[in-house]
Amino acid sequence: MTLRSPRLWDGPDWSRIRLAERDHLQLWEPSTPEGWEQRNALFSWPGQWAGMRRLARHGTALPFVILVDGVFAGQVTVGNIVRGALRSGWIGYWVSRRLTCGGVASAAVALVVDHCFGVAGLHRLEATVRPDNEASLRVLEKTGFRREGLFRRYLYVAEMWRDHVCLAITAEDVTAGAATALVRDGRADWE
């Protein structure tokens, strides 16, 4: 499993997975006015890619593509990055259904956490997850995130305002590195 910046030519793989796995992904992602098909069509990728690049250049996002054996498998994005005294951002991710429960998301999140608390100079990362998304909660908790509260009717997902659990991790929580802790503590599914 490796991570890299998104590229324009990722569009066909991105769109193919997103459209084919709509039932797997749409339950957990915010609903938008343009609808799933249009938002994830191949012609939507160039605009999304350009937007991610622009936010990354401005220092407000860190977008990554997840590759497994060199094949596009999902994404991890740190967004809403604020510098100054806060040095914080939120993290979101998705992986192809064929790779769930195999440790790919956990490894990707751990590597991004380490990057954020190292090179990127952040102090805190937050994630919000629906309480019924057990797989995603497991990824975050295995990576060292702790539950901090419940946001009532936080995001419009699957055509309803849904509650979300807020989880967070700080640099002090992973002094040895999140990826190292996953392996050391036996929380890595791929072992």
> pLDDT digit string (tens) for 80-102?
999 999 999 999 999 998 877 77
> pLDDT digit string (tens) for 130-143?
999 999 999 999 99
**Does residue 60 lie within any of the structural domains?**
yes
> pLDDT digit string (tens) for 14-67?
999 999 999 999 989 988 888 899 999 999 999 999 999 999 999 999 999 999
Crossing angle of the two packed helices 45-57 and 11-20, in degrees rounded to 10: 120
Domain that holds residue 104: 2-184
| Sign of the dihedral through C-alpha 147, 152, 154, 159 | positive
**Does residue 98 lie within any of the structural domains?**
yes
Q: Coil, strand, or helix at residue 131?
A: coil
**Does residue 191 lie within any of the structural domains?**
no
Beta bridge partners of 76: 64, 93
Query: Would you say 129 and 137 are in contact if contact means Cβ atoms under 8 Å apart?
Result: yes
Q: How many domains does the chain have?
A: 1
Question: E strands of 35-159, at which residues?
Answer: 62-68, 71-82, 88-95, 124-129, 146-157
Count CA atoms within 13 Å of residue 4 on its CB side: 13
Confidence at residue 140, expressed as pLDDT on a 0 to 100 scale: 97
Q: How confident is the model at residue 191 (pLDDT cuts 50, 70, 90)?
A: very low
Task: Evaluate if residue 170 carries a pLDDT over 80.
Answer: yes
**Does residue 27 lie within any of the structural domains?**
yes
Cβ count within 10 A of residue 41: 15
**Does residue 6 lie within any of the structural domains?**
yes
**Does residue 78 lie within any of the structural domains?**
yes
Alpha carbons 67 and 58: distance in angstroms, whole number: 25
Q: How confident is the model at residue 185 (pLDDT cuts 50, 70, 90)?
A: low
**Does residue 189 lie within any of the structural domains?**
no
**Does residue 44 lie within any of the structural domains?**
yes
- Domain CATH number, residue 18: 3.40.630.30
Q: CB within 8 A of 149, min separation 6: which ones?
A: 165, 166
Q: Are strands 124-129 and 88-95 parallel, antiparallel or unpaired?
A: parallel
Mean pLDDT for 128-157 is 95
